[in-house]
Structure 1
Amino acid sequence: MGWNFKLHGGVAVGLGATLLLLASLTWLPGALPLTDARWLMAAIFASLFLAFVSALVRLLLTGADKHAIWLAFRCLPSKVQMTLGALALWGVVLLAFSTATEGNLQAAEVRDGRYVAFDTTPHTRGMVEISQRHYQDVLESDQRTMLAIPGMLFLGAAYAALTAGELRRADGAVVPSDIT
């Protein structure tokens, strides 16, 4: 596998693990300091778009079917497979616990000195006033989701990039039958 596939996959794994770690830190009391910055979310989604789309294009250019892609992933070193699997499991568990405990409130904000959030309960949709404690809980839940989902997508980009590199390596190792 070429160094650029390894670099692409490594950066994607690193960014995904960092985002999952930040999402896990939202379980601690208090909001994370930098996650309210709009530029940070824009930077995350811009880098995610570049990493994910380029990894998918690399994978599509190999022309392999699903079975060949799975076999190529299985040919990666076991440490790489275990790392990607463990991080993906961590992300799934994090998202499952987050969605199970978040309730029906989203997008908390302060308006005119009052804490409000969007209530998604059927028949009562709209902005409702909440306490400061609930405001902090909704903020943490929103942060957790906004960090965990891109983290999981970065892991998907790493899977695609590393698998495409393995497919490319395997294709280069095949000797055509007409050359003896």
Structure 2
Amino acid sequence: MGWTFKLHGGIAAVLGIVLLVLTALTWLPGALPLPGAKWLMAGVVVLLFPIFISALVRVFLTRADRQAVLMAFRCLPGRVQIGLAAACMSGVAMMILSTAGEENLQSAEVRDGRYFAFDTTAHSRGTIEVSLSQYQAVLESDQRSMLAIPGMLFVGAAYFVLAAGELRRADLRPKSS
């Protein structure tokens, strides 16, 4: 596998794991790990699209089917396989736990010293006033999904790039007759 595949996959894996760790930190009691996460989300979006799209392009350029990509992933070292699988499974678990505990509130905001959130229940859709504790719970829930989804996409990009690198290496290997 070429060094560009390793670098691309490594950057995607590290960014994904960092975002998943930050997601896990939102469950700790106390203040949010990153209360002003607007700069973080802007950075994530700026990095996510080029890394993820180029990973998809790299795997599509191999012209391999899903089975071949899976087999190429299985050719990676065991630690890499286990690390990416653990990151993916932890991201899925955090998303499931996060959505299971939601109270149909999202998009918390402060207006004139009062706390509001958007209620998504079917019969009472709209912005409602909430308590400070509900406001903080909604902020943490929003932050979980804003960190976990890109984290899992970065891990997926690492999977695609590293599998494409293995496919490329197998294609370039001299054929023995």
TM-score between the two structures when normalised by the length of structure 2: 0.96
The answer to whether the 8 A contact 2:26-2:33 is kept is no
AA partner of residue 162 (structure 2): L
Alignment of 1:40 with 2:40, yes or no, is: yes
1:108 Cα deviation from its structure 2 partner: 0.4
Aligned to 1:36, the other structure's residue is in SS state coil
CA RMSD of aligned residues (A): 1.3
AA partner of residue 123 (structure 2): H
1:33 Cα deviation from its structure 2 partner: 4.8
AA partner of residue 42 (structure 1): A
Give deviations 1:61-111, integer Å, cap 9, x for gaps. Answer: 111111111111111111111111111111011110000002200000001
Alignment of 1:148 with 2:148, yes or no, is: yes
Sequence identity of aligned pairs in percent?
Answer: 63
Whole-Å Cα distance in 2 between the matches of residues 7 and 92 of structure 1?
25
| Aligned twin of 2:26 | 26
| Aligned twin of 1:161 | 161
| Aligned twin of 2:73 | 73
The answer to whether the 8 A contact 1:35-1:41 is kept is no
1:34 Cα deviation from its structure 2 partner: 3.1
The answer to whether the 8 A contact 1:24-1:94 is kept is yes
The answer to whether the 8 A contact 1:31-1:140 is kept is no
The answer to whether the 8 A contact 2:59-2:161 is kept is yes
Structure 1 unaligned runs (5+)? Answer: none
Whole-Å Cα distance in 2 between the matches of residues 156 and 45 of structure 1?
15
Give deviations 1:137-157, integer Å, cap 9, x for gaps. Answer: 000000011000000000000
The answer to whether the 8 A contact 1:31-1:139 is kept is no
The answer to whether the 8 A contact 1:22-1:147 is kept is yes
Whole-Å Cα distance in 2 between the matches of residues 80 and 35 of structure 1?
32
**Residue-pair matches, total:** 177
Alignment of 1:119 with 2:119, yes or no, is: yes
Alignment of 1:107 with 2:107, yes or no, is: yes
The answer to whether the 8 A contact 2:119-2:126 is kept is yes
Q: Which moved more, 1:31-40 or 1:110-119?
A: 31-40
Structure 2 unaligned runs (5+)? Answer: none
Aligned to 1:143, the other structure's residue is in SS state helix
1:35 Cα deviation from its structure 2 partner: 4.7
1:30 Cα deviation from its structure 2 partner: 3.2
The answer to whether the 8 A contact 1:35-1:143 is kept is no
Give deviations 1:15-71, integer Å, cap 9, x for gaps. Answer: 000000000000012343535232221110110101100000000011111111111
Runs (4+) off by over 4 Å: none
| Aligned twin of 1:11 | 11
AA partner of residue 119 (structure 2): D
The answer to whether the 8 A contact 1:59-1:160 is kept is yes
Whole-Å Cα distance in 2 between the matches of residues 71 and 95 of structure 1?
27
